[in-house]
Amino acid sequence: MFEITDQPLSLEPVVNAVKKSSSGAIATFLGVVRERTRGRMVRYLEYDAYREMAVPKMREIADEIRRKWEVDEIAMLHRIGHLQVGEASVAIAVSAPHRHQALAACAYAIDRLKETVPIWKKEVWTDGEEWVGPPT
Amino acid sequence: MRVRVRCFAAVREIVGTGELVVDLPEGSTLTQLVDQVRGQFPRLEGLVSSLLFSVNREYAPFDKKLAPGDEVALIPPVSGGGHV
């Protein structure tokens, strides 16, 4: 499961998508909107995505993971649109026979997603707004 | 030749639309496309040095040659980095 959605996210669909009888572990990551960022109070975030490229880039990350670790299944969901503080923006689950592979692959998945998947967020603060990219 | 240019995030706000159609001489590269678009939208100037580009949904270098009907995207730095 690799999707961009404008609907609220939870871990349940990604966990269900990676369940396999060969798995002994499912590692998950849920990214949520934080109230305070670099000293400013967040009112809400606005996410934008290049959907037609974002989903193939998620699949490429899954391929990278399969070359590095023995895993069973990988699922990634990213929400776009208007998100309030506390809402989930990204949900990832990785199943594997053993926990170490699942945990390492899940951490890799979120790090790579932030590097290569064309999704952007606008932080709207109580006193301004900005499209945010990585520190360069 | 005509190419489609998809615009996102800060670029979309400056350009005022999610998609442009740009007319270029045959054999043009991404560099020439970018020069044309920044000429049309001078407010992109501050952003151009941080942009990445894709052609037909794959990241591409500045010297990539374009073909009629290509889908180019102007890609600001993606959302992650150290902030989340």
* pLDDT tens digits, one per residue of B4-26: 999 999 999 999 999 999 999 99
A53 touches chain B (CB under 8 A): yes
Q: What is the mean pLDDT of residues B48-64?
A: 91
Q: Nearest residue on chain A to B79, judged by CA atoms?
A: A120
What is the mean predicted confidence (pLDDT) over A74-100? 97
ipTM: 0.82
Q: Which residues contact B15 (CB under 8 A, 6 or more apart)?
A: B7, B37, B41, B44
> How far off is chain B from A46, nearest CA to CA, in Å?
9
Confidence of residue B49 (pLDDT cuts 50, 70, 90): confident
In chain A, where does DSSP find H-type helix? 11-18, 51-68, 99-116
A80 reaches B (C-beta below 8 A): no
